[in-house]
Structure 1
Amino acid sequence: MLFNSIDFVIFLPIVFALYWFVINKNLKLQNLLIVIASLVFYGWWDWRFLFLIIFSTIVDYTIGRLLFIEKNQIKRKTLLWTSILVNIGFLGFFKYHNFFIDNFVTAFTFFGSEIKASSLNIILPVGISFYTFQTLSYTIDVYKRNLEPTKDLIAFSAFVSFFPQLVAGPIERATNLLPQFYKKREFDYSKAVDGMRQILWGLFKKIVIADNCAEFANLIFNNSSDFSGSTLVVGAIFFTFQIYGDFSGYSDIAIGTSRLFGFNLKQNFAFPYFSRDIAEFWRRWHISLSTWFKDYLYIPLGGSLGGTWLKVRNTFIIFIVSGFWHGANWTFVVWGALNALYFLPLLLTKNNRNNLDVVAKGKFFPSLKESALMSLTFGLTVLSWIFFRANSIDHAFSYIGSIFSSSLFTLPEFSGVGRAFRLFIVILIFMLIEWGGRENQFAIQQLGLKWSRPLRRGMYFIFIILIFWFGQNEQQFIYFQF
């Protein structure tokens, strides 16, 4: 079920009404309703995927209880590794089986030997990369005794399958989300209104920004050999805003929907395209994944406490693994490695913690230095997104090679260039709104809240018109494939 579908428009009010007006006095029934609604929401794609998420839930719930009881450290490690192997095993099979088989065959063919191995027709379960990491964080935190395991299977099931963020995050930690299922929840009108406002902004990002950018990004990337360097730059920029509007839009809808039901999810994007260096970008982009890798991979490896070689090694490991998490293609690995290269000079010069505050805080205009740093960081990010979007390594290098040619200095030419220009104007307005709200957790919290009620409602009405105007087709979110 897609957030931007008629199905969800019908589904959400029904669940909301049952949750607050029928079973609002019974916490256990509310949690049970969330579980049932989440399974319906998830099973809407393919009911067979339900067995996977139910099995994963039971395994990690059981292992969590056993970890709490068990005192023998060897047995506790065995339990932990059982959870890791089960979860990563499922993820590896469904997501990476064919990738490893194909590359294994290619490697032996390169050395003059032929191996016959056939790929499997495997359907990737939607959201498996997200809920796998969510349940793993629970088991690891229980193992470290940072969290007491729950005795409530229904609450734990609701935590694992919570439908607003099940498919594409944010990847919630049990320490933040799970305790919220234990507490009685009272309907908060202001919180619900704020949630609706957040949903509206997320839909605007997805339908108006991302889906329209996707039309031109797909046209240019899929036919890159036919276009000039200047047109390829336009395609890369459109994809840059497509992936941001698509993914951060999903997170906004998830966070807003959660607020409708009395839950608070962590911020997942903090205006990343206003970053002044790559280190700041990765503190602001897909925050739940970045912090997950930092806490459960980077720090256990030694983080930045060792010598130079260990710092370099750990940096490349975390970025390459992050890239590989996104998909079974060498393009994602190169994308991760390229970001590691971007990050390395900051790490080695100990400048990776320079920009911890909001850019141009308290001012509307950034300084010349801040503008230059943001432009450089944005340019490097656009370049790296080419690898993320390209079909193959060869395609990415060919795309970049065509950019840096004499045709870079020609006017872009492609079908719909007039509409593309108007879309750039919309993107500019969108980024101005984001810039104005950058000191808040979410841009929409700032937008129009000091205006009179009629003006504010008029602005929301304009957003709704634009969403319906552009939302003729239900387009899947990019991160569903990860």
Structure 2
Amino acid sequence: MLFYELKFIIPFAFILLLYTQLQRKAQNYLILFAGYLFYGMWDWRFLSLLLITTALDYSAGYLIDLCKPGSNKRKLYLALSMAVNLGMLSYYKYMNFFAESLAHLLNVPIPANSFVANVILPAGISFYTFQSMSYVIDVYRGHIRAERNFVDFAAFVSYFPHLVAGPIQRADVLLAQITRDRELTLPGFFLGCRLFMFGLFKKLVVGDNVAKLVDPVFSNPQSFDSITLLVAAYAFSIQIYCDFSGYTDMARGVSKMMGINLTLNFNYPYFATSIRDFWTRWHISLSTWFRDYLYIPLGGNREGETRAIFNLFVTFLLSGLWHGAGWTYILWGAYHGTLVAIEHYCAKRRLGRWAQNMPVLLKMVITFHLVVFGWILFRVTSLAQFGMYLNGLFTWKTDWLQMLMQSKTWFDVFGVIASLAMGAITIKFLIYYLPLLGLDLLEWRAKGEVWEKSRGRVIQGVVYGILLFLIFMFGVSNAKQFIYFQF
């Protein structure tokens, strides 16, 4: 079930109408009901796992809060919560991967009817387990008090706008809003509609149309020339951004209509000036989760440079594994971990100081291309396919080099380059991408405030009208599932 499908929109409209007529306590019962209703519509078979996580972490947080500081029982309850949550996540998400890897190593086939071969990944388990665990850890650390009201806590865990693909919420942000009265205003509702519509534009008009260019190339990279492979890599970078940030915008929009603010998950990541900066802008809720609950507990940068580099690498390696059960995801995490470790090592040295003085635009271009290369590894389905993609990317299958060598004037050189750049896939990619780039640049230059300025209401209305027109005219009707639903 997707946000823009009628089987979500119609029930949500009735739920929202009823929600506006209720007091906070009754609203929370409705949020809880809606969470289990929509999750059941996504995949009813795993409602029990959501309930287990909720009951377990409610109990763990409550019992930890009752214990005296320093008590061993506090550690026991925390360990129990972590073990069960990570155990469920490991079984459903990684059992197939580890079993297949072991079988391949031992050269032993896995029977088709074995339980390992039939493990299905529950929707959203990577997100709601991390959110629920962060609550227990925060209670253990004394950052928050345990929630006594089970309904409020259950509504926090199963809050449907972000349940299956984030953003991962902290208790001091989302639970704090659930336990207090919410102000429902018409401007807030329209802001939610704006977020939803912009997310819908990203997903249907840009992301899914660009996917039509990307999928054939990545599924059979050996059949395409190097220019097409290069453009497809750029295109996937835009596809995954529009797909994931589009979902986040829609989730934040739906939540805003209900008077609840979800945290910002994207902050113009492709305008980053370093890989470290990229990870402060991309999937912010996940990167800050790993920072606060893994990197810092490992020691962060408090125990010397070598240990800090090790901690960074381990954090990104596990972040890659979080994204998917496959060697390509692990290597993608290792790739980013290596880049961040190099940046950390160079930061206080001559090379780092030289890099800091580079023009901002040049730093953006370099960072973007490093990220794009990583996305190739993220998108391919196997290491063998990654090898084929790189082989095609760096092996010039066309005769363009010969044509350049035979060029007698600069006009001839320009003609060869133009003919390469204006291939069909490039033109289609630019048609879908340029409107998004313009909107992102507009907001980025205005520091995200352009949409909120009252003096720009006429302009806003025109832009919204154009977005609606583009959605209805060019939006993909048989839309693809959100990429991050598989994580």
Cα deviations by residue, 1:421-440 (Å, 9 ceiling, x for unpaired):
14413312211211121156
Q: Distance in 2 between matches of 1:120 and 1:11?
A: 35
Please state how far the C-alpha of 1:4 moved relative to its aligned partner: 2.4
> Quick one: distance in 2 between partners of 1:115 and 1:3?
40
Is residue 438 from structure 1 mapped to residue 458 from structure 2 by the alignment? no
Q: TM-score, structure 1 length as denominator?
A: 0.90
CA contact (8 A) 2:152 2:175 kept: yes
- Equivalent in the alignment of 1:88: 86
Is residue 480 of structure 1 aligned with residue 478 of structure 2?
no
Amino acid at match of 1:437: E
1:368 Cα deviation after fit = 8.1
Q: Is the 8 A contact 2:377 2:386 kept in 1?
A: yes
Provide the C-alpha distance between the structure 2 equivalents of 1:36 and 1:385, rounded to a whole number of angstroms: 38
For 1:372, give the aligned amino acid.
L
Give CA-to-partner distance per residue, 1:369-400, whole Å, 9 cap, x none.
11111111111111000000001112112201
Q: Structure 2: which amino acid aligns with 1:389?
A: R
Give the Å deviation of 1:309: 2.2
- Counterpart for residue 382 of structure 2: 392
Are 1:42 and 2:24 an aligned pair? no
**More helix, by proportion:** 2
Q: 1:294 to 1:452 in 2, by over 3 A?
A: closer
2 CA distance for matches of 1:437 and 1:121?
Answer: 46
- Which range moves more in the overlay, 307-316 or 225-234? 307-316
Measured in 2, the distance between the counterparts of 1:463 and 1:433 equals: 11
- Name structure 1 gaps, 5 residues minimum: 356-366
2:17 counterpart letter in structure 1: A
Give ranges in structure 2 of 5+ residues lacking alignment: 401-416
Instruction: Say which of 364, 369, 385 aligns to 1:379.
Output: 369
Measure, in 2, the Cα distance between the counterparts of 1:294 and 1:429: 34
Q: 1:452 to 1:186 in 2, by over 3 A?
A: closer
Q: Matches of 1:448 and 1:171 in 2, distance apart? A: 25
Confirm or deny that 1:405 pairs with 2:417: no
Structure 2 matches for 1:296-445, cutoff 5 A?
296-350=293-347, 369-407=359-397, 410=400, 418=424, 421-438=427-444, 442=448, 445=449
Distance 2:294 2:398 in 1: 41
Distance in 2 between residues matched to 1:452 and 1:143, nearest whole Å: 47
- The residue aligned with 1:358 is none
Q: Deviations over 1:30-64 (max 9, x none)?
A: 00001111111111022121111011101100111
For the residue of structure 1 that corresponds to 2:191, the secondary structure is helix
Residues 150 and 409 from structure 1, CA distance in 2 versus in 1: closer, same or farther, beyond 3 angstroms? Answer: farther
Q: Using the TM superposition, give the Cα deviation of residue 409 of structure 1 relative to its aligned residue in structure 2, in angstroms.
A: 7.7
Structure exhibiting the larger radius of gyration computed from Cα positions: 2
Q: Displacement, 1:417?
A: 5.7
The one-character-per-residue Cα deviations of 1:120-141 (angstroms, maximum 9, x if unpaired) are: 3122111110001000000000
Does residue 11 in structure 1 map to residue 15 in structure 2? no
Q: Distance in 1 between matches of 2:195 and 2:399?
A: 41
1:459 deviation in Å? Answer: 2.1
Q: Of 98, 117, 122, which aligns to 1:100? A: 98
Mapping 1:198-277, distance limit 5 Å: 198-277=195-274
The number of equivalent residue pairs is: 460
Instruction: Please tell me the root mean square deviation across aligned C-alpha atoms, in Å.
Output: 2.4
Indicate conservation of the 8 Å contact 1:230/1:409, yes or no.
Answer: no
Q: Tell me which moved more, 402-411 or 304-313.
A: 402-411
Letter in 1 for 2:369: G
Identity %: 40
Aligned to 2:44, the other structure's residue is in SS state coil
Distance in 1 (alpha carbons) for counterparts of 2:171 and 2:332: 30
Q: Quote the Cα distance in structure 1 between the aligned partners of 2:399 and 2:187.
A: 52
Residue 136 of structure 2 corresponds to 139
> Cα distance 1:412–1:51, how it changes in 2: closer, same or farther (>3 A)?
farther
Distance across 1 between alignment mates of 2:31 and 2:385:
44
How far residue 405 of structure 1 moved from its aligned partner, in angstroms, is 1.6
Paired position in structure 2 for 1:79: 77
State the alpha-carbon separation in 1 of the partners of residues 262 and 438 from structure 2: 25
Measured in 2, the distance between the counterparts of 1:323 and 1:2 equals 25
Deviates more, 1:464-473 or 1:77-86: 464-473
Deviation, 1:455, is: 4.3
Kept in 2: contact 1:84–1:136 (CA 8 A): yes
Aligned amino acid, residue 484 of structure 2 = Y
Equivalent in 57, 61, 77 of residue 60 of structure 1: 57
Mapped to 2, the partners of 1:128 and 1:440 lie a distance apart of 37
